[in-house]
Structure 1
Amino acid sequence: MKNHFMDRVSAYVDGELDAAGREVFEGRMAEDPQLRAAVEDVQAMVGAAAGLGPIEPPAGVWAAIEARITASPGAVSDAATVPIAESATAPAAPQATTRRTPAPRPYARHLQAIAAGLVLMVLSASAGWWLHDFGTPTPDQLASIEQPVAEIPVGDASVATFNEQEDRLTESIHHLELLLGQYGDRLDPDTREA
C-alpha cells in the first residue's frame, strides 16, 4: 500500500501545507520513522543547496554563444538588427511576409457530406428492412411447408423400453458418482457445482 504522506514531504519542508494539513502530517511523522527519515533527508538537501550560492558561468560562455549564433546559417546580420532604444523611437520598416496557406480544396467538404449522407441512407434502409414486419404466415402457407416426420418402429427389438432406459440412466449416474468420488479432489473447486 502506498504511503500518501511520502508525497507531501517536500510540501511540508517548504511550508506549503495549511495548518490542518501540517498538524496531520506532524502526527503521522511522530508515528512513522520512515516518514521522519524522509523529512530529515529533504531538509538536509535543502540546507545543502541553500549554502551553494549563485553559480557564475565562465567568462567566455557568452562570447561563445554569440559566435555560434552569428556563425549559424540563416543568421541575422548586424545590419538588420536594431538596438532596443532605437526600435522604440524609429518606425518599423515594412517587411515582406510569406504565408503558407494550404491549397484550396473547394469540394472536400462537399464530398465528405455526400459520403456521410450515403452511409446514413444505407444504414437507414438496412435498419428498416430488418425491422419490417413481414407478417404472420397464413394457415395455407403453414400447410404448404413440408415438415419431416420421424417414424418410430413399433415392436422393434432394438428400441428399449422406458424401464430399460431408466435402468441405464441410473447405472450411468452411479458410475459417474464413483468417478467423482475417486477423482473429485482433482477438480477445480471454483468451477465444480453440485
Structure 2
Amino acid sequence: MNLIILDRDGVINFDSDQFIKTPDEWKPIPGSLEAIARLTREGWRVVVATNQSGLARGLFEMATLNAIHTKMHKAVGQAGGRIEAVFYCPHSAEMDCGCRKPKPGLLDEIAVRYGRDLRDVPAVGDSLRDLLAAASVGARPLLVKTGKGEKTLAAGGLPENTPVFADLSEAVEFLLKA
C-alpha cells in the first residue's frame, strides 16, 4: 500500500497568515487537486495532517472546520481524486500538546490507523514543522515552495536529504517516476 501524507495549508490550498477561517477562504493551489487525483489513480492512499490552532484561538468552530474539509473533499473528488482522512491538531502552540507538528502525534495516529510503520512514507509540507514531524517518525520529508515553502527553504535547517519541489504537482511527478 502506497501511503502519502500531505499538509493542508500551503500544500493543497493557499495559506493565509490570518488563517483559513471559512470555506470561501479555502482556495486550491493550481495543480494540487489534479496531483491528488494522479496519486489516487495510481493506487496511493492520500491523508492530510494539519495543525488547526484556529480552533483553540476561537477563530472558527468545529462545524466550520468540517465545512472547509467538506469543500476540500468535494473539490478533490471532482478532480478525480480522494483524500481518505484528515488528521488535525486543534491546539495552540501554547498548549504544548503531543499532536501539534513538529511533534509526531498526528503522524503516530496515522501509523496506528493504517497499521503500518511510516518509514519512508512521503510527507509533503511547506514548513519546517511539517518536515521535522515527518523525519521524527522515519517518514520521508518533501518540501514544496508554495505556502511558506520559500521562507522555509531560505531559513535552512531542513532534515538531511530533503528534496525541494516547486509545488505538489512537481512532488507527485517525482514520486510517480521513482
**TM band (smaller chain):** under 0.3
Could you tell me the TM-score, scaled by structure 1's length?
0.16
Structure with the bigger percentage of strand: 2
Could you tell me the TM-score, scaled by structure 2's length?
0.17
Q: Greater CA radius of gyration, 1 or 2?
A: 1
Give the number of the structure with larger relative contact order, counting CA–CA contacts within 8 Å between residues 6 or more apart. 2
Structure with the bigger percentage of helix: 1
